[in-house]
């Protein structure tokens, strides 16, 4: 049985993918994959996702050059979430930060705590 057929996709045919730097453990982003995106990622070795807003596939880094090279794929105990351990080229966040989790809650405010590694206006 194919690994993809063992996964539990939600009613929209999606599964969340948590993305982590394979060396540092830094949490980079969360995205969604459908069966085709999982299959493309496993065969290509780079991370492919399903854009819920654009309703299309996207290869992470296709526009920016900031690809995610997959070093390992893990499935949670319920088979309804994935963990991708990747080698991140450049920044993972489309806003220019290395991680999409660049803001920390401090009381009633959000404080930027991450590293901005590129200017998004130069990439998109």
**φ, ψ (nearest 5 deg) of residue 98:** -60, -40
* Helix residue ranges, H only, the chain: 3-6, 35-44, 120-123
Question: What tens-digit pLDDT sequence spans the chain (124 residues)?
Answer: 589 999 999 999 999 999 999 999 999 999 999 999 999 999 999 999 999 999 999 999 999 999 999 999 999 999 999 999 999 999 999 999 999 999 999 999 999 999 999 999 998 8
pTM of the complete model: 0.93
3-state secondary structure of 74: strand
In terms of Cα–Cα distance, which of 77, 72, 64, 74 is closest to 119? 64
Q: Which H helix or E strand runs over 66?
A: none
Taking the CA atoms of residue 94, residue 23, residue 41 and residue 28 in that order, the dihedral angle to the nearest 10 degrees is -30
3-119: CATH topology is Ubiquitin-like (UB roll) (3.10.20)
């Amino acid at each position: 049985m194919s690994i993809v057929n063992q996964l539990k996709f939600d009613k929209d045919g999606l599964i969340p993918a948590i993305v982590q730097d394979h060396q540092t453990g830094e949490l980079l982003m969360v995205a969604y994959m459908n069966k085709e995106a999982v299959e493309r990622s496993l065969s290509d070795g780079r991370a492919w996702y399903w854009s819920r807003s654009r309703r299309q596939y996207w290869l992470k880094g296709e526009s920016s050059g900031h690809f995610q090279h997959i070093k390992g794929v893990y499935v949670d105990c319920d088979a309804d979430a994935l963990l991708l351990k990747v080698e991140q080229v450049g920044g993972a966040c489309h806003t220019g930060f290395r991680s999409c989790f660049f803001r920390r809650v401090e009381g009633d405010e959000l404080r930027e705590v991450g590293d901005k590694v590129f200017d998004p206006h130069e990439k998109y």
